[in-house]
Structure 1
Amino acid sequence: MNEYTMTDIQNRIQSSFNAQGLMQTLGARLLSAQEGEVQIELPFSTALSQQHGYAHAGAITSVVDSACGYAALTLAPAGHEVVTAEFKTNFTRPAIGERFIATGRVETAGKTMTVCRGDVVAISGDSRKVVALMQATIVNVKV
């Protein structure tokens, strides 16, 4: 892939990410966007915690869903946007960390839909633990 195309992908994803009110509300930021893979960072905040003090499953799911959706958008045909049609999230342990990195990766991309997998890693100091796994179906929508 040439540099111009990579820059175009990064700009497309960053522009769309900046337009998402939920990501702004959560305090999330786009870390990287490349063909077939996107990473989003979510800093821990007590405003996003559940009753036991862990990051809430809704916040964790939101960032990994967005990471998967944006990974799919990197491969979507010209003139198309994407929407999530379905996802399944497994939580492997409580979401305890200073920050969380959600990574979405394209497994297979077709003309009308893309299947992605995602994971969320909790980071505290030098510790890195997977706290969630996602499989998502993303649909291309002509705009």
Structure 2
Amino acid sequence: MVTDELRQRIAASFDAQGLMSTLGAQLARVADGEVDIELPFAGGLSQQHGFVHAGAITSVVDSACGYAALTRSPPDCGIVTAEFKVNFLRPAIGQRFLARGKVQNAGKLMTVCTGEVLAFNGEDAGKVVALMQATMVNVRQ
């Protein structure tokens, strides 16, 4: 269960991330084992073909997975990424993007998460542009 205290802790941690601020990303949803991060399109995030750069897409879905893991970690722990793999399914073309991290298994030390990034144009249903599998590690603070 996600308490108000945990939501505030996640929001404060997210706000302290300089990269998320630089990218223009915003924390959109915090639930038990799931976190969503929104990313609006910006020309400064593009690569040479005009798509959103893989580094920006990877960064937001990594953070979504990390914060999803934090919802299931012990209260005295932070989270760091141990490893991840990303598959890009199509070019990241859209007006906005939604990165969703989801806990698949939370252990005592490690949490395995999956993530996806959806691209939206207008009010469409969104298309999956990237999938992630990640291992997060609990770090005592």
TM-score after normalising by structure 2: 0.97
Does the aligned pair in 2 maintain the 1:103–1:118 contact within 8 Å? yes
TM-aligned CA deviation for residue 45 of structure 1: 0.5
Match of 2:36 among 18, 29, 39: 39
Does the aligned pair in 2 maintain the 1:101–1:120 contact within 8 Å? yes
For structure 2, the residue ranges without an aligned partner over 5 or more in a row are none
Equivalent residue runs for 1:59-74 within 5 Å: 59-74=56-71
What SS class does the counterpart of residue 78 from structure 1 fall into?
A: coil
Letter matched to residue 113 of structure 2: C
Q: Deviations 1:88-138 (Å, cap 9, x if unpaired)?
A: 000000000000000000000001000000000000013310000000000
TM-score after normalising by structure 1: 0.96
Distance in 2 (CA, whole Å) between partners of 1:78 and 1:10 is 12
For structure 1, the residue ranges without an aligned partner over 5 or more in a row are none
Distance in 2 (CA, whole Å) between partners of 1:74 and 1:28 is 19
Match of 1:13 among 10, 14, 21: 10
Distance in 2 (CA, whole Å) between partners of 1:112 and 1:78 is 13
Distance in 1 (CA, whole Å) between partners of 2:43 and 2:29 is 25
* Total equivalences in the alignment: 140
Distance in 2 (CA, whole Å) between partners of 1:89 and 1:36 is 20
Structure 2 equivalent of residue 106 of structure 1: 103
Match of 1:123 among 108, 120, 125: 120
Letter matched to residue 137 of structure 2: V
